[in-house]
């Protein structure tokens, strides 16, 4: 899944892959209420969404605030937050 038009990447909670060839981070857009966990090249090219964050039951957007690669590079753990409690997710690649 690619994210054409997404231009806002949040690198504050980003993490390098174990072999330092890509970065995982949060991205917003291109539409209202869309947030993604993204992997991309270090120069920002080839960004692809690996998880689209769903709206919660009150239609508030959840934002990814931190992500960390598993040392073997096969999974990424992340924290997503809303106005309520933070949730922890784990994505297998």
What is the CA 8 to chain-centroid distance, rounded?
12
For the chain, which residues make up each domain, given as ranges?
Answer: 8-92
What would the pLDDT profile of 13-51 be if each residue is shown by its tens digit? 889 999 999 999 888 766 666 778 889 898 888 888 888
What is the CA 13 to chain-centroid distance, rounded?
9
**Cα–Cα distance list, 30 to 27, 50, 64 (Å):** 9, 15, 16
What would the pLDDT profile of 46-90 be if each residue is shown by its tens digit? 888 888 877 665 556 677 888 999 999 999 999 888 766 787 888
């Amino acid at each position: 899944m690619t994210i054409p038009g997404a231009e806002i990447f949040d690198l504050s909670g980003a993490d390098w892959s174990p072999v330092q060839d890509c970065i995982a981070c949060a991205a917003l857009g291109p539409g209202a209420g869309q947030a993604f966990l993204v992997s991309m090249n270090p120069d920002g090219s080839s960004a692809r969404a690996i998880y689209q964050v769903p709206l919660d039951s009150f239609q508030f957007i959840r934002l990814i605030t931190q992500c960390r690669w598993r040392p073997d590079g096969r999974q990424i753990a992340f924290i997503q937050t809303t106005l309520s409690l933070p949730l922890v997710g784990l994505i297998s690649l």
